[in-house]
Chain A
Amino acid sequence: MAKAFKYGLKGITGYLEPAERDLLRSLIDDVISMLQPEERTGQDPLAALIGLDMDVAEPTDRAVRRLLPNVVKDDGAASLEFRQLTERSLRETKIGALRAAALDLDKDEIVLTPEGARHWSMALNDVRLVLAERLDIRDEADAEHVHRMQDWSQAEDVESYLALVYNFTTWLQESLVQAMLQSLESRR
């Protein structure tokens, strides 16, 4: 079984079983593939170089839309304008954090610097946002319903399996963030 993340002399440490690492790696890979911007032909190379994307559109996939939300509520035009300027680099930021976390999965014991912990917390959060969309978690009652699913012997279908995976990543992120809060406190 995984061990909760802890803050100590070495920094933030955690331990995951090989199967848990494989699971996280595949979840991370899924989110990375959702975030990878599609290569378009005929794109202005200079615009692409500085991160502009004039052909960007609001994502159609709910989960991707949750990862890359509109910046102005009820104003698609203003949000789209903002996407043209920022979405590409936001995708890159997220992919960077996800890749950094995936690299740390190569070892049994995970030892994180403050920066590494931040990447991990962002990566786990994005993984959870995507799982939550797949599980149709729309409000606190849905979240509570999913949270009650704790027994792996109950996993009979895709949805209950996903719920258990979601609860595992929730537990892991909570333990990580508690360690990060302790680390913040000790540096004050």
Chain B
Amino acid sequence: MTISVAPGPDTQEGIRTGTAESTDSLTAPDIPWNLVIWNDPVNLMSYVSYVFQSYFGYSESKANKLMMEVHKKGRSIVASGSKEQVERHAVAMHGFGLWATVEKASGGHSGNSGKSGGPGQGKGKRG
């Protein structure tokens, strides 16, 4: 990432949250998945922090902490949840131009395990 972010007061309340729970009973909510954001030399630090604050509703300090983790460590897990939830977040992040991937919380990447598959798997990815 590039260029620093302006300091400001720390507040808890978000404007809009993108983490609303899905009630789709066909998903397998017990299998945790992670949303990973990767560092790149183009995205502005301020923009990445803005996306974390406005999309996830994270406080400024939490957003900046995650942004710095992306910047310094090359990647950061910024959200976790069911496969569907993190996939929905990934599409939103791609919409913002952030480099996002999803992976199983255990550390391995997804593949097509079929475990959380089934007819409901594709639902909710769009939008």
Query: B-contacting residues of A (Cβ < 8 Å)?
Result: 51, 66-75, 77-78, 81-82, 85-86, 89-90, 93-94, 97, 118, 121-122, 125-126, 128-129, 132, 137-140, 142-143, 147, 170, 173-174, 177-178, 180-182, 184-185, 187-188
Closest chain A CB from B36 CB (angstroms): 8
Q: Are A173 and B47 in contact (CB under 8 A)?
A: yes
Give A121 to B50 CA distance when docked, in angstroms.
10
Which residues in A have their C-beta under 8 angstroms from that of B19? Answer: none
Known contacts A71-B101, A90-B95, A184-B54; A137/B110 CB under 8 A:
no
A173-B47, A177-B47 are known contacts. Are A188 and B109 too (CB-CB below 8 A)? no
Q: SS class of chain A's interface: helix, strand, loop or mixed? A: helix
Cβ–Cβ contact A184 & B15, under 8 A: yes
* CB atoms of B94 and A90 under 8 A apart: yes
Distance in angstroms between the alpha carbons of A142 and B50 in the assembled complex: 24
**Given the complex of chains A and B, what is the CA–CA distance between A170 and B1 in angstroms?**
12
Known: A72-B103, A72-B110, A89-B127. A128 touches B95 (CB 8 A): no
A86-B126, A181-B49, A188-B11 are known contacts. Are A81 and B54 too (CB-CB below 8 A)? no
* CB neighbours of B49 from chain A (8 A): 181
What 1/0 flags go to B97-127 for Cβ under 8 Å of A?
A: 1011111000001111000000000100111
Cβ 8 A contact of B91, one of A66, A86, A147, A177: A86
* Count: A-B pairs, CB below 8 Å: 121
Partner of A81, one of B11, B103, B112: B112
Binding site for A on B (CB under 8 A): 2-3, 5-6, 8-9, 11, 13, 15, 36, 41-44, 46-47, 49-50, 53-54, 60, 87, 90-91, 94-97, 99-103, 109-112, 122, 125-127
In the complex formed, the residue of A with least CB distance to B5 is A181
Q: How far is the CA of A147 from the CA of B2 in the complex (A)?
A: 10
Please list the 6 inter-chain residue pairs (A to B) with the smallest Cβ-Cβ separation, ordered nearest first. A125-B97, A143-B41, A132-B42, A177-B46, A89-B126, A188-B11
Q: How many angstroms between the C-alpha atoms of A144 and B9 in the bound complex?
A: 29
Contact between chains at A188 and B13 (CB < 8 Å): yes
Q: Are B42 and A129 in contact (CB under 8 A)?
A: yes
User: Residues of B contacting A118 with CB < 8 Å?
Assistant: 54
* Given A51-B126, A85-B126, A122-B95: A187 and B46 interface contact (C-beta under 8 Å): no
User: Chain B contacts of A75 at CB under 8 A?
Assistant: 109-111
Quick one: given A78-B112, A81-B112, A174-B46, are A137 and B99 in contact (CB under 8 Å)?
no
Q: How far is the CB of B113 from chain A (nearest CB, A)?
A: 9
Residues from chain B with Cβ under 8 Å of A51 in the complex: 126
Which residue from chain B places its CB closest to the CB of A97 in the assembled complex?
Answer: B95
**Contact between B125 and A187, CB atoms less than 8 A apart:** no
